[in-house]
C-alpha cells in the first residue's frame, strides 16, 4: 500500500514571475519540469471547465444553476484529461463502472472535485459521496492516522478490493486530489495535495497540505473548423460551363458590318451639357 510522504523543502531556483514547484510534486510526477507542466495544465483545464460551464448556463437562460453544475462536473474530468493526455508517459485510466478518464503521470493519479460553491477553507473539504470507486481510489492514498473512540480506523485502504483496471495500476501509484471551489459566477480557489480518507462520511486528513494552483488569465480559445465535404470535386474537376452562341442577324451579314464581340465603353461625361 502507498506509504506516507515526507514533505521536503524545495531548493529550486525560480524567476520573479514563477511560482515554485514543491518537492513532493517533482517526486511524484517524475521531475520538476513535468510537475510544473502538470500543475499549469491542470490550472488551464479548470479555467476552461468554468468557461464552458458558465457558457452553458448562460445559453440555457434559466434561473437554476443545475446546467452549470452538470457541465462543471463532467468538464472537470474531461478538460483535465484533454490537457494532460499528450504529455510523455501520460496514462488514461477509466475505472470499471466510472464514466470518465483519470490521468496518471509518473506516480501521480489525479482526481479533481468541487468541494464548495463559496470561498471556504480547503482543509475542511469533504468527499460528498463515498461510493465504491471513491473507496478504491483512496486505496492509493496514505492510511488515516485518526482512530475512533474504540481505537479502530473507520476506513482501511488495505481492505479494499480493487476492480481490474485499478488493480492493474503500477505499484507506487499515489492519489493526488485536485479540490476546487466553484460556482456559476466564477472559479474561486483550486488546490492540489495528498490526503487520506478518514471515514466513510468523506472527511479528509491532509498528509500534504493542499497548495494553491496558479491559474492562466484566459481560457483556451476554441477553433471551429467548417464541415468539409469529402466527395466534393476539385476546382479543375467540375463540369465545363456551356457558352451560349448568338448568331449574327442577316441584315448585318448583307451590309457587311464588322462583328462586335465587346460592348463599346461608355466615356465619362465632363459636364451635364455633354448629354445634349
How far is Cα 140 from Cα 157, in angstroms, rounded to an integer? 8
pLDDT digits (tens, 9 = 90+) for 42-94: 999 999 999 989 888 777 787 777 788 888 899 999 999 999 999 999 999 99
- Confidence at residue 16, expressed as pLDDT on a 0 to 100 scale: 29
The 10 Å Cβ neighbour count of residue 240 is: 5
- Confidence at residue 6, expressed as pLDDT on a 0 to 100 scale: 41
pLDDT digits (tens, 9 = 90+) for 142-201: 988 875 544 455 688 888 999 999 999 999 999 999 999 998 888 988 999 999 999 888
| 38-42, 115-119, 218-222 — most confident range | 38-42
Pairing of strands 174-183, 108-116: parallel
The 10 Å Cβ neighbour count of residue 103 is: 26
The residue ranges of every structural domain in the chain are 23-212
- Confidence at residue 127, expressed as pLDDT on a 0 to 100 scale: 95
Report the DSSP beta bridge partners of residue 208.
Answer: 194
- Confidence at residue 8, expressed as pLDDT on a 0 to 100 scale: 37
pLDDT digits (tens, 9 = 90+) for 210-243: 999 999 887 887 755 556 666 666 666 666 666 6
Any alpha helices (H) in the chain, and if so which ranges? 23-28, 32-60, 66-84, 132-137, 164-167, 250-254
- Confidence at residue 202, expressed as pLDDT on a 0 to 100 scale: 93
pLDDT digits (tens, 9 = 90+) for 1-17: 444 444 333 333 333 24
Amino acid at each position: 500500500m502507498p506509504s506516507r510522504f515526507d514533505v521536503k523543502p524545495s531548493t529550486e531556483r525560480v524567476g520573479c514571475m514563477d511560482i515554485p514547484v514543491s518537492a513532493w510534486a517533482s517526486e511524484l510526477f517524475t521531475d520538476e519540469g513535468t510537475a510544473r507542466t502538470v500543475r499549469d495544465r491542470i490550472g488551464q483545464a479548470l479555467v476552461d471547465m468554468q468557461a464552458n460551464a458558465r457558457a452553458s448556463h448562460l445559453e440555457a437562460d434559466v434561473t437554476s444553476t443545475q446546467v452549470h453544475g452538470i457541465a462543471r462536473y463532467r468538464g472537470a474530468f474531461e478538460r483535465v484529461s484533454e490537457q494532460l493526455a499528450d504529455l510523455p508517459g501520460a496514462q488514461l485510466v477509466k475505472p470499471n463502472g466510472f464514466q470518465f478518464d483519470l490521468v496518471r503521470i509518473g506516480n501521480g493519479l489525479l482526481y479533481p472535485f468541487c468541494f464548495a460553491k463559496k470561498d471556504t477553507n480547503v482543509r475542511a473539504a469533504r468527499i460528498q459521496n463515498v461510493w465504491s470507486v471513491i473507496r478504491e481510489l483512496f486505496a492509493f492514498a496514505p492510511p488515516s492516522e485518526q482512530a475512533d473512540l474504540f481505537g479502530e480506523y473507520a476506513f482501511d485502504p488495505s481492505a479494499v478490493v480493487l476492480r481490474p483496471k485499478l488493480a492493474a495500476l503500477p505499484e507506487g501509484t499515489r492519489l493526488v486530489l485536485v479540490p476546487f471551489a466553484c460556482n456559476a459566477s466564477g472559479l474561486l480557489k483550486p488546490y492540489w495535495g495528498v490526503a487520506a480518507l478518514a471515514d466513510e462520511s468523506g472527511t479528509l486528513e491532509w498528509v500534504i497540505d493542499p497548495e494553491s494552483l496558479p491559474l492562466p488569465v484566459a481560457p483556451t480559445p476554441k477553433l471551429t473548423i467548417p464541415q468539409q465535404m469529402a466527395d466534393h470535386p476539385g476546382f479543375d474537376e467540375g463540369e465545363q460551363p456551356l457558352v451560349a452562341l448568338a448568331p449574327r442577324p442577316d441584315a448585318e451579314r448583307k451590309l457587311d458590318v464588322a462583328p462586335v464581340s465587346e460592348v463599346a465603353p461608355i466615356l465619362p461625361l465632363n459636364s451635364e451639357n455633354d448629354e445634349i
